[in-house]
Amino acid sequence: MAATIDLTHEGTVLVAMESTACDPHHTALPELSGLSSITSQNESVDGGEQQLRVFLRVRPFSKEELNNNEDQGCVVFESAETATLHAPKGSATMKCSEKGIGQQVHKFSFTKIFGPESTQAEFFDGTIRSQVQDFLHGKNALVFSYGVTNAGKTHTIQGSPKDPGILPRAIDAVFRHINGRLYEQMDLRPYLNSDVQKLDPDQLRMERSAKTALFSMLKEDSESTRTSRSRSSSSSSVNSLSFSGVSYDQTVDSAEGAVDDVQYVYSLWVAYYEIYNEQVYDLLQPALSNKTKRRAVLRLCEDSAGNSYVRDLRWVNIQTAEEAAKVLRVGNKNRSAAATKMNQSSSRSHSIFSIKLMRIDGADVQGISELSLCDLAGSERCNKTKTFGERLKEAGNINNSLLILGKCIAALRNNQGDRAKNSYIPFRESKLTRLFQGVFCGRGRASMIVNINQCASTYDETLHVMKFSAVAKEVVQVIQPRSLESLAPRLIGRDGKPLLNNGVLDSQAVDGYLSEDELLDGDEEADMSILPQEELLNLVESLRAKLLAERKKNLLQEIQIRREMGDAMMQQIMEIEELHSRQMADLKESYEEKMDSTFEMYKEALKEHAYQCALERLEEEICPTR
């Protein structure tokens, strides 16, 4: 275990949070795996409703901001859940209110407010610690930060070596829960959205080599990192980010972890990627040595069950919290960042750090859950950040994706108010919303962290962020019941293998896939205790058997249709190939005939020319000269 530093009794006020901790160089969807499902000990089988939790964190002033008279009392805390915004002089809101348009004071409520004096440990305990515990017991979770640029979003997520953020603390909580019950093999890897792939020995060796190569990228830059530290007094760069500074009360974690059966072991995998200019990039791929080359763009796909996932995304197995810190440092080196007028190291992309936890019993994977922490790029006004050229294009894509996110949340709120209308929710208009569509639709629990600063110069942008959070707080998530979550993805067996092996139907896999518990939803099962007649019970059982048989028949028909379509397409390809071969042979024969004809023509021309030359020489020799 790495040495820990107690951060629970910090008495000092945090310095201004770093907005971006980056190196400047740089539709219902199933939640759980098809192998089996995990359910928390206290989770309701019938699901339930939960209001979207929205937390507010206010960044403290920096010395430069205080010198520039940015402290004009714009943000006032009335209680632990309520904040009031007062428009300062010169702001657009104040000018509109003076003209009789709008108002000067706005009041907003949140799940909980954390002021400038709040510590990272207090913020973690008061926000997502419960979500981390749910994640450990099988629930998917999403945490995303939102706010204007230079509001402290990345500092809240990642923190610094001496003051870790919620991501390092979540990783530390996971390893404290595991407490030595770690699956040390790397032969079970996440597959597609929520399945598991069994690696053969060759794939396992490749996975280990790739992990070694990934961590070696940090050794290559160790000397340059030391040089940059010596030149800069800001030693809180993410290149030196470590999780060893995390420490807090372990009694709650140990008590909650004791609920789990000791027979389970856990396998932990992480991925780190970004959405930059509406393109998905893997941050764990090696940096390109040649700047003229473009990074590989990853595709956002859906599996046969409609689950969204990032194709060819690199997942890394981690055994310790320090390995997770290394993965984060490698990703931050490759993350897109640039300097603007408001922030010297501004994030120009939405970065997502995803953690997948497999629960293993012997040789069987009992379930898989995912925790995603999304650091959204800050919304900004180009006239204040003075962006142009490439920065202007980036700002446009950032603002557009955040706009789509706002539309989706507003549509969710409107639909729950009037379920008869069910207006269109534009999830697919942005990569960001499409990726997390399942969580917003109830396949996990989401939390939103709103980061703001108190500067008078950014009041109008802050007010827009607060209005967005007010809409988000009214969203009620309908958590899907467990019976829906435990359905295995179609055509994927319990061991992660397809139901078709070399074109032959695996009957055992189909029977396992079509188990009774997975075919029948809990809502479709009648309450037999209220039926007095024996005949009705027999009828229900008969209909139940027919339903099982019909669904099995439908699956077999689907598999047969896919096979027939594949055979027909292969036959068509072979016919096209044969046709092209005949056409090529005809063309070859035609060209050969033309070549022979041309050759004969040139041959006759050469003979005629030689004959004429011979006649001319003969005439010159015979004719007397005078």
pLDDT band of 222, cuts 50, 70, 90: low
Residue 317 pLDDT greater than 90, yes or no:
yes
Looking at the domain that runs over 48-485, which CATH code has it been given? 3.40.850.10
Q: Return phi, psi of residue 401, to 5°.
A: -65, -35
Q: Does the annotation list 292 as a binding residue?
A: no
Per-residue pLDDT at 419 exceeds 50: yes
Report the Cα 583 to chain-centroid distance in Å: 49
Q: Which of 23-37, 367-381, 476-490 has the highest mean pLDDT?
A: 367-381
| Token pair listed for 128 | 């997502």
More confident of the two residues 39 and 494: 494
pLDDT, average across residues 506-513: 54
434-459 pLDDT tens trace:
998 888 888 889 999 999 999 998 89
Q: Which of 37-46, 140-149, 383-392 is predicted least confidently? A: 37-46
Query: What pLDDT score does 336 carry?
Result: 75
Q: pTM here?
A: 0.68
Say if strands 445-453 and 316-317 run parallel, antiparallel, or are unpaired. Answer: unpaired
Q: Which residue has the higher pLDDT, 599 or 336?
A: 599
Cβ burial, residue 387 (10 Å; 0-12/13-18/19+) = buried
pLDDT digits (tens, 9 = 90+) for 21-57: 444 443 333 332 333 333 333 333 345 677 889 999 9
In a 3-state reduction of DSSP, which class is residue 482? helix
Q: Is 147 annotated as a binding residue?
A: yes
The two structure tokens encoding residue 232:
């800069």
Burial class (CB in 10 A: 0-12, 13-18, 19+), 201: exposed
Give residue for tokens 């050229």. 389
Give pLDDT tens digits for 580-592.
999 999 999 999 9
Q: pLDDT at residue 169 above 80?
A: yes
> How many CB atoms are closer than 10 A to CB 220?
8
Helix (H) or strand (E) holding 469: helix 459-473
pLDDT in tens, 328-365: 999 988 887 654 545 444 567 899 999 999 998 877 88
379: which strand partners?
A: 148
The answer to whether 151 is a known ligand-binding residue is: yes
Q: Which of 195-204, 245-254, 396-405, 412-421 has the highest mean pLDDT?
A: 195-204
Calculate the average pLDDT of the chain: 76
Can you tell me the mean pLDDT for 493-513? 49
Task: Answer yes or no: is 115 a known binding residue.
Answer: no
Report which DSSP code applies to 72.
S
- Which whole number is the average pLDDT over 355-376? 89
pLDDT value of position 536: 75
pLDDT at 29: 34
Residue 542 has pLDDT above 70, yes or no: yes
Share of the chain above pLDDT 70, in %: 69
In angstroms, the CA 35 to CA 513 distance is 9
User: Is 462 annotated for ligand binding?
Assistant: no
Query: How high is the pLDDT of residue 520?
Result: 44
**Beta strands, E only, 327-457:** 337-338, 346-347, 350-361, 364-375, 445-453
Q: What is the predicted pLDDT for the residue at 247? A: 54
pLDDT at position 608 over 50: yes
pLDDT at 93 over 60: yes
Look at 519 and 178; give whichever has higher pLDDT. 178
Q: pLDDT at residue 112 above 90?
A: yes
**Residues whose CB falls within 8 Å of the CB of residue 434, separated by 6 or more in sequence, listed in order:** 300, 308, 427, 428
Domain spans of the chain, in order of start: 48-485, 493-626
154 is in an annotated binding site: yes
| pLDDT score for 320 | 92
State which amino acid sits at residue 402: L
- DSSP readout, 282-342? ETTSPPPSSTTSPPPPBPEEE-TT--EEETT---EE-SSHHHHHHHHHHHHHHS-EE--SS
- What is the Cα–Cα distance from 241 to 227, expressed in whole angstroms? 16
Q: What is the pLDDT of residue 136?
A: 92
Question: What ranges in 137-250 are assigned the alpha helix state H?
Answer: 153-157, 166-178, 201-220, 222-231
Token output for 34? 């098809």
AA identity, residue 407: K
58 labeled binding residue = no
